[in-house]
A and B are shown apart, each in its own frame.
Chain A
Amino acid sequence: MSLSSEEINHIALLARLDLTDAEKAKAATELSQILDSFDTLKELDTDNVTPAESALNLVNVLRIDESRPSLPTEAALANAPEQAANMFVVPRVVEAE
Chain B
Amino acid sequence: MPQVASTKNQELKTKNQFKIMPFTDFTALQLAQQIKSKKISCREVTDAFLERIEEVEPKVHAFISVQQDEARKRADALDKRLASGDDIGPLGGVPVAAKDLLCTKGVRTTCASKMLENFVPPYDAHVVERLTSDGAVIIGKANMDEFAMGSSNENSAFGPARNPWNLNHVPGGSSGGSAAAVAARETPLSLGSDTGGSIRQPAAYCGCVGMKPTYGRVSRYGLIAFASSLDQIGPFANNVEDAALLLGSIAGHDRRDSTSLKAPVPDYTATLRDGIKGLRVGVPKEYFVQGVDDNVATSVRKAIDQLCELGAEAVEISMPTTEYALATYYIIAPSEASSNLARYDGVQYGMRVLDPGDGIMEMVSKTRAAGFGHEVQHRIMIGTHALSSGFYDAYYVKAQKVRTLIQHDFNNAFEKCDILATPTAPTVAFKLGEKTGDPFAMKLADTCTIPVNMAGLPALSLPCGFHDGLPIGLQLIGNVLDESTLLRAAFSYEQATEWHKTSCEL
Interface, chain A (partner B; CB < 8 A): 11-12, 14-19, 23, 27, 30-31, 33-35, 37-38, 40-41, 43-44, 46, 49-56, 58, 60-61, 63, 71, 75-76, 78-82, 88, 90-93
Sort A-B residue pairs by CB-CB distance and give the 7 closest, nearest first.
A55-B456, A51-B400, A79-B349, A81-B352, A18-B365, A46-B401, A75-B122
Q: Does B359 contact A (CB under 8 A)?
A: yes
Q: Distance (Å) between the CB of A90 and the closest chain B CB?
A: 6
Q: Which residues of A contact B380 (CB under 8 A)?
A: 15, 17
Q: Which residues of B contact A15 (CB under 8 A)?
A: 338, 368, 377, 380-381, 384
Partner of B364, one of A16, A37, A53: A16
Q: Which residues of B contact A80 (CB under 8 A)?
A: 347-349
Partner of B404, one of A35, A51, A78: A51
Residue ID in chain B nearest A49 by CB atoms: B401
Residue ID in chain B nearest A88 by CB atoms: B347
Residue contact B456 to A30, C-beta cutoff 8 Å? no
Q: How far is the CA of A31 from the CA of B338 in the complex (A)?
A: 14
**Given A16-B345, A17-B380, A34-B439: A52 touches B400 (CB 8 Å cut-off):** yes
Q: How far is the CA of A50 from the CA of B405 in the complex (A)?
A: 9
Q: Does B52 contact A (CB under 8 A)?
A: no
Partner of B398, one of A35, A37, A41, A55: A41
Residue contact A55 to B405, C-beta cutoff 8 Å? no
Sample of 4 more A-B contacts, CB < 8 Å, known A16-B345, A23-B377, A44-B324: A16-B342, A55-B456, A79-B349, A91-B358
Q: How far is the CA of A90 from the CA of B345 in the complex (A)?
A: 10
Residue ID in chain B nearest A74 by CB atoms: B122
- B444-495 residues with Cβ-Cβ distance < 8 A to A are 453-456, 480
Q: Distance (Å) between the CB of A51 and the closest chain B CB?
A: 3
> 22 A-B pairs, CB-CB below 8 angstroms?
A11-B381, A15-B377, A16-B365, A23-B377, A31-B378, A38-B395, A40-B324, A44-B321, A44-B324, A44-B405, A55-B216, A55-B455, A56-B214, A56-B480, A58-B259, A60-B258, A71-B123, A81-B350, A81-B354, A90-B360, A91-B354, A93-B359
**Given A38-B331, A41-B398, A44-B324: A92 touches B365 (CB 8 Å cut-off):** no
Residue contact A11 to B385, C-beta cutoff 8 Å? yes
Q: How far is the CA of A34 from the CA of B398 in the complex (A)?
A: 16
Q: Does B407 contact A (CB under 8 A)?
A: yes
- B207-243 residues with Cβ-Cβ distance < 8 A to A are 214-216, 229-230
Residue ID in chain A nearest B351 by CB atoms: A81
B 321-360 binary contact with A (CB < 8 Å = 1; else 0) = 1011001101100000010001001111111101000111
Q: Which residues of B contact A46 (CB under 8 A)?
A: 398, 401-402, 404-405
B 399-436 binary contact with A (CB < 8 Å = 1; else 0) = 11111110100000000000000000000000000000
Q: Does B382 contact A (CB under 8 A)?
A: yes
Q: How far is the CA of A80 from the CA of B345 in the complex (A)?
A: 11
Q: How far is the CA of A18 from the CA of B367 in the complex (A)?
A: 8
Residue contact B348 to A88, C-beta cutoff 8 Å? yes
Q: Distance (Å) between the CB of B179 and the closest chain A CB?
A: 23
Q: Distance (Å) between the CB of B381 and the closest chain A CB?
A: 5
Q: Which residues of B contact A27 (CB under 8 A)?
A: 377-378, 381
Interface, chain B (partner A; CB < 8 A): 118-120, 122-123, 214-216, 229-230, 255, 258-259, 321, 323-324, 327-328, 330-331, 338, 342, 345-352, 354, 358-366, 368-369, 372, 377-378, 380-382, 384-385, 388, 395, 397-405, 407, 439-440, 453-456, 480
Residue contact B352 to A55, C-beta cutoff 8 Å? no
Q: Distance (Å) between the CB of B150 and the closest chain A CB?
A: 14
Q: How far is the CA of A60 from the CA of B119 in the complex (A)?
A: 31
Q: Which residues of B contact A30 (CB under 8 A)?
A: 378, 439
Residue contact B402 to A41, C-beta cutoff 8 Å? yes
Residue contact B347 to A90, C-beta cutoff 8 Å? yes
Residue contact B359 to A92, C-beta cutoff 8 Å? yes
Q: Which residues of A contact B407 (CB under 8 A)?
A: 52
Residue ID in chain A nearest B363 by CB atoms: A91
Question: Considering residues A27, A46, A50, which has the most beta carbons from chain B within 10 angstroms of its beta carbon?
Answer: A46
Q: Distance (Å) between the CB of A40 and the closest chain B CB?
A: 5
Q: How far is the CA of A19 from the CA of B255 in the complex (A)?
A: 40
**Given A27-B377, A79-B348, A81-B346: A51 touches B119 (CB 8 Å cut-off):** no
Residue contact A18 to B366, C-beta cutoff 8 Å? yes
Q: Which residues of A contact B360 (CB under 8 A)?
A: 90-93
Q: Distance (Å) between the CB of A69 and the closest chain B CB?
A: 11
Residue contact A17 to B365, C-beta cutoff 8 Å? yes
Q: How far is the CA of A91 from the CA of B347 in the complex (A)?
A: 10
**Given A12-B381, A55-B229, A71-B122: A18 touches B440 (CB 8 Å cut-off):** no
Q: How far is the CA of A44 from the CA of B321 in the complex (A)?
A: 9
Partner of B369, one of A19, A81, A90: A19
Q: Which residues of B contact A93 (CB under 8 A)?
A: 359-360
Q: How far is the CA of A93 from the CA of B360 in the complex (A)?
A: 7
Q: How far is the CA of A76 from the CA of B123 in the complex (A)?
A: 10
Q: Distance (Å) between the CB of B360 and the closest chain A CB?
A: 5
Residue ID in chain A nearest B372 by CB atoms: A17
Q: How far is the CA of A17 from the CA of B358 in the complex (A)?
A: 15
